[in-house]
């Protein structure tokens, strides 16, 4: 496997403005309304006066053992050897929806054409999947790699993307340890000011939405 790419997210820096989600929709020209490759959820914990809310910006996690890939009957979903990004080949998708059921984060979503689509870590622009795109490292070497739109437009500097090894260098030790225990490729880094921790908070946000 080539170098795994992923996202980094710092809940303490996120202000819940949704600029990331809107930037993603604009870049990929996704269908208005119901298709959100990235979305911002709020996790609430405790009771007044010890009550806290944390914003979590969510997209596909490009999981290590991607359950969506396992259930896809046509082989449309692939965890790429070259960069670990999980893509949907819309030429092969038959719209059965199994991946949507298998994904714990609600990432694959139906477009108006009845086929599934989701985050491709900006392998390319538009509603296509990027399945045939060169690896992110090759794109970078050619000066053609797109900075993911969500990272580009993040107002709070809460999001980053890149080879996971590089992202871990900037993560706290606690976040790095949590990351090692997860089977997804998003590093959630919190200083503890906001209490959302790793995948637990992400799953809660998904369940609450």
Question: Which of 66, 131, 146, 168 lies at the binding interface for ligand SF4 (CB under 6 A)?
Answer: 66
Q: How far is the CB of 49 from ligand SF4 (least distance, A)?
A: 25
Sole window of 27-35, 125-133, 139-147, 149-157 interacting with ligand SF4 (rule: CB under 6 A): 149-157
Sole window of 12-20, 41-49, 161-169, 174-182 interacting with ligand SF4 (rule: CB under 6 A): 12-20
Judged by phi (left if over 0) then psi (alpha if -120 to 50, else beta), residue 122 lies in left
Residue 41 in 3-state DSSP?
strand
Rule CB under 6 A: is residue 103 a binding residue for ligand SF4?
Answer: yes
Question: Which of 6, 7, 20, 28 lies at the binding interface for ligand SF4 (CB under 6 A)?
Answer: 20
Residue 177 in 3-state DSSP?
helix
Smaller CB distance to ligand SF4: residue 18 or 82?
18
Smaller CB distance to ligand SF4: residue 5 or 47?
5
Rule CB under 6 A: is residue 97 a binding residue for ligand SF4?
Answer: no
Smaller CB distance to ligand SF4: residue 61 or 145?
61
Is residue 76 a contact partner of residue 87, using CB atoms and an 8 Å limit? no
Whole-number Å distance between alpha carbons of 66 and 77:
9
In angstroms, the Cα distances linking 21 to 6, 26, 78, 95, 155 are 17, 9, 24, 24, 12
Of 169, 205, 171, the residue nearest 187 (C-alpha):
171
User: What are the φ/ψ torsions at residue 116 (nearest 5 degrees)?
Assistant: -80, 150
Rule CB under 6 A: is residue 129 a binding residue for ligand SF4?
Answer: no
- In our burial notation (b when 16+ CB lie closer than 10 A, e otherwise), range 77-111 reads bbbbeebbbbbbbbebbeeeebbbebbebebbbeb
Rule CB under 6 A: is residue 118 a binding residue for ligand SF4?
Answer: yes
Residues of this chain, 169-188, that bind ligand SF4 according to CB under 6 A: none
Rule CB under 6 A: is residue 55 a binding residue for ligand SF4?
Answer: yes
Binding site for ligand SF4 (CB under 6 A): 14-20, 40, 55, 57, 60-63, 66-68, 86, 103, 105, 107-108, 118, 154-156, 158-159
């Amino acid at each position: 496997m080539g170098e795994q790419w992923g996202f980094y997210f710092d809940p303490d820096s996120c202000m819940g403005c949704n600029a990331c989600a809107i930037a993603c929709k604009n870049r990929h020209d996704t269908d208005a309304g119901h298709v959100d490759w990235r979305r911002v959820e709020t996790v609430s914990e405790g009771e007044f006066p010890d009550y806290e809310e944390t914003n979590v910006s969510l997209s596909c996690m490009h999981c290590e053992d991607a359950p969506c890939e396992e259930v896809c009957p046509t082989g449309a979903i692939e965890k790429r050897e070259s960069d670990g990004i999980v893509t949907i080949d819309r030429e092969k998708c038959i719209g059965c929806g199994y991946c949507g059921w298998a994904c714990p984060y609600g990432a694959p979503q139906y477009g108006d054409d009845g086929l599934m689509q989701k985050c491709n870590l900006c392998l390319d622009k538009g509603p296509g999947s990027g399945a045939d795109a060169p690896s992110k490292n090759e794109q970078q070497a050619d000066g053609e790699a797109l900075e993911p739109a969500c990272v580009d437009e993040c107002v709070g500097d809460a999001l980053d993307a890149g080879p996971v090894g590089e992202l871990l260098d900037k993560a706290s030790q606690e976040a790095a340890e949590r990351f090692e225990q997860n089977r997804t490729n998003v590093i959630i880094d919190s200083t503890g000011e906001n209490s959302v921790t790793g995948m637990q908070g992400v799953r809660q946000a998904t369940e609450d939405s």
